[in-house]
């Protein structure tokens, strides 16, 4: 199966593209398209999180659940939106914590590509969604693919930081191998429904940079 993807990820995941579950994903998306369903993000952005953050560059992993399902929001990076789109509430809460933790003023946009290019893998568990229908593609096979990414990345590399926000992301902790070689930080989801239960004040951004510095790895400039 021909998949266009950044070369280091193509190598790490090469065996996955011929698996029955991946054929199921492709067939499902083709069927949705034939039925004139609108799918987010656009096709060329489905693997944007991987394309912008090669394996060798990856330092931090932030796990989301599902792409945004409203028009124009999803562009392949968890929590991120393109520059001309109003940042959703969870992203605004991430920016509030960033300001509290590191003194970085809330930006005027919600595009986190700068994070990705520095080595922050902004990975959603599902890489597509039907318009206006949250979690509509959560059972088509994407989770097997993204679970493989988490497991293999944690096995291949050391000194990664995993930021697990919310119960869904925290459940992914059992996929992380060599846990003694990585930093795993957990907090409630930044959603307005849960941010006040411990996401605010978690100081994950400063903790990440402290850990990276301790391993002589360049820290992240969290200013989007």
Low-confidence ranges of the chain (pLDDT < 50): 1
Candidates 15, 51, 66, 147; catalytic one: 66
Could you tell me which of 40, 54, 14, 203 has the C-alpha nearest to residue 127? 40
Structure confidence at residue 1 (pLDDT) = 45
Cα separation, 215 vs 25, in Å, equals 38
66 is catalytic: yes
Checking DSSP bridges between strand 60-64 and strand 120-124, what pairing results, if any?
Answer: parallel
| Alpha-carbon 130 to chain mean position | 18
pTM of the model: 0.97
């Amino acid at each position: 199966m021909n998949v266009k993807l950044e070369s280091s990820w193509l190598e790490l995941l090469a065996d996955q593209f011929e698996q029955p579950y991946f054929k199921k994903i492709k067939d499902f998306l083709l069927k949705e398209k034939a039925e004139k369903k609108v799918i987010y993000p656009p096709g060329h952005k489905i693997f944007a999180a991987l394309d912008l953050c090669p394996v060798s560059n990856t330092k931090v992993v932030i796990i989301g659940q599902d792409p945004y399902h409203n028009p124009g929001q999803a562009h392949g990076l968890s929590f991120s939106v393109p520059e001309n789109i109003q940042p959703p509430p969870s992203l605004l809460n991430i920016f509030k914590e960033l300001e509290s933790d590191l003194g970085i003023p809330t930006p005027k946009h919600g595009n986190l590509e700068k994070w990705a290019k520095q080595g922050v893998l902004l990975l959603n568990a599902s890489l597509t969604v039907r318009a206006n229908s949250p979690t509509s593609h959560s059972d088509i096979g994407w989770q097997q693919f993204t679970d493989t990414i988490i497991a293999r990345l944690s096995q291949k590399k050391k000194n990664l930081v995993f930021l697990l926000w919310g119960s869904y992301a925290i459940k992914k902790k059992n996929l992380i191998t060599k846990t003694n070689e990585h930093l795993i930080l957990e907090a409630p989801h930044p959603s307005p429904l849960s941010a006040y239960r411990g996401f605010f004040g978690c100081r994950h951004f400063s903790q990440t940079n402290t850990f990276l510095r301790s391993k002589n790895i360049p820290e992240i400039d969290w200013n989007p």
